[in-house]
Amino acid sequence: MPRDLTRSNEHFKKAVTRLPLGVASNFRYWGDDRTIYVKQGRGARVEDIDGNHYVDYRLGYGPAILGYAHPEVDAAAREGMDVGGVFALATEREFRVAERISKMVPAAELVRYSNSGTEAVMAGLRLARAYTGRDEYIILEGSYHGLFDAAMWYTPMEKWSQSGEPEVAPYSQGIPLGVRSFAHFVQANDLNQLEETFKRTAGRIACLLIEPIMGNCLGIAADPEYLRGARALCDKYGVLLFIDEVKTGFRVARGGVQQLYNVHADICTLAKAVANGYPISVVAGREEIMRKFGKGVAHGGTYTAHSVSLAAAEKCLEILDETDALERIADYGTRLMQGMTKVLSARNIAHSFVGHPSMLGLYFDAQPPRNYRTWKSSDYAFYDAMAQVLHDEGVLCEPDSREPWFISAAHDESCLNDTLKGFEVAVDATLEARASGQLEKHG
């Protein structure tokens, strides 16, 4: 049954008079009549202004790892408010949080804070360039590293004809084309291509900027051998390994992807799960590299290490480090995948999962994708159509198949039951739409 979105639709008409697309971020616009406005989030559920309730698997693109309005984190944030905000001076808590981060992520020998993932990655790239004295960098096709010019090059895979090389395009108007020449692209899980690129660009590459579980591309995962091989190639060619753990950090393991794969970065960035949604991010890395900050490399920002976000981070990291929250999250994700498989297999629908149980991608092909190009041959039209029905059924996933499902520690048995009920309805509705010719097939 379609939801009643009367109030959201009405609010959209008002909002669009003052806000482009009626929202505060392009990604929040889901169409004139499907853009929803949130009243509140509690635990793993969100309520919109029409009173529709959803089990949420977007979690604001990952941050709400303990669930919305977490009492302990929010109490800590209130205590942070009492500290007074920002002073353009340091506080003692910065050190305490840095100690916790270094304990959880051993490659984070030294730590600096920023406010968003984008800001942290920008700082990390600047640092890598300064340390190596080189300007160019390598990124994986399909990855996302934030909204700044150097990272805003993407492959419009929808348009690719599955032969020849896909185009690399700016992700937005307003990006100087000259910036493109610094970026080189490789496909995930192809060490030969990586080494060829190192050879071809000898002495010009500052870093390999890599998200080993691609949190904006289904969760396509590097094989452990690929990441270890990439680490070895970086060492061989004198290139820094910059692991972007904005999404995976403190989520897939206490020490993030670096712990899962037992690979240490030279520079890493951590953000979403640091403070359960309060704005703070981290750029961290090897001491020798990080000491460049303040010795020739600029880093700062008015709101950096705001007392509210920092206090929330201290509490959130304590919980992630000292309780079984991450184990419970992974367990829920595993049971969700099992439940989905039961529904899909009963209908003979080929599928697989990618990523990690805490951030999982549902992929409509029997073999999980090895790189972004393989996504093109999956039945993503089925996913996208199904997602619309899921929203109507009270299950909030991203409308685009390339964003994984995020699990929080607040997802419980009732969430699982509601989700699997909605999932079954959505799968059947999508099958019906296809049988009646309303839905094209990809793959």
Residues in contact with ligand PLP by CB under 6 A are: 61, 116-118, 121, 144-146, 211, 215-216, 244, 246-247, 271
| CB-nearer residue toward ligand PLP: 244 or 379 | 244
Name the minimum Å distance from CB 200 to ligand PLP.
26
| CB-nearer residue toward ligand PLP: 316 or 426 | 316
Name the minimum Å distance from CB 223 to ligand PLP.
19
Name the minimum Å distance from CB 236 to ligand PLP.
26
| CB-nearer residue toward ligand PLP: 56 or 211 | 211
Q: Round to whole Å and give the CA distance between 54 and 143.
A: 28
Nearest by Cα to 279 from 249, 307, 245, 251: 307
- DSSP E strand boundaries for 130-266: 136-140, 153-154, 169-170, 183-186, 205-210, 213-214, 220-221, 240-245
Tell me how far CA of residue 153 lies from CA of 88, 119, 156, 185, 403, in angstroms.
34, 17, 10, 9, 18
The kind and range of the H/E element at 326 are: helix 325-345
| CB-nearer residue toward ligand PLP: 107 or 343 | 107
Name the minimum Å distance from CB 193 to ligand PLP.
21
Name the minimum Å distance from CB 279 to ligand PLP.
8
Query: Which residue's beta carbon is nearest to the bound ligand PLP?
Result: 117
Cβ neighbours for 272, distance < 8 A, ≥ 6 positions apart? 60, 61, 62, 63, 65, 117, 246, 247, 249, 251
| CB-nearer residue toward ligand PLP: 118 or 430 | 118
| CB-nearer residue toward ligand PLP: 269 or 430 | 269
Torsion over CA of 248, 249, 255 and 258, rounded to 10 degrees?
50
Name the minimum Å distance from CB 406 to ligand PLP.
11
The first and second tokens of residue 325, run together, are 């929250």
394 contacts 426 by C-beta, under 8 angstroms = no
Name the minimum Å distance from CB 71 to ligand PLP.
24
| CB-nearer residue toward ligand PLP: 146 or 277 | 146
354 contacts 247 by C-beta, under 8 angstroms = no
Q: Which amino acid is at 73?
A: V
Q: Round to whole Å and give the CA distance between 232 and 239.
A: 10
284 contacts 296 by C-beta, under 8 angstroms = no
Name the minimum Å distance from CB 145 to ligand PLP.
5
282 contacts 269 by C-beta, under 8 angstroms = yes
Name the minimum Å distance from CB 269 to ligand PLP.
7
Residue 250, number of CB atoms within 10 A of its CB: 27
Give SS3 for 94: helix
| CB-nearer residue toward ligand PLP: 115 or 388 | 115
| CB-nearer residue toward ligand PLP: 403 or 424 | 403
149 contacts 176 by C-beta, under 8 angstroms = yes
The DSSP 8-state label assigned to residue 85 in this structure reads S
Q: Round to whole Å and give the CA distance between 159 and 166.
A: 8
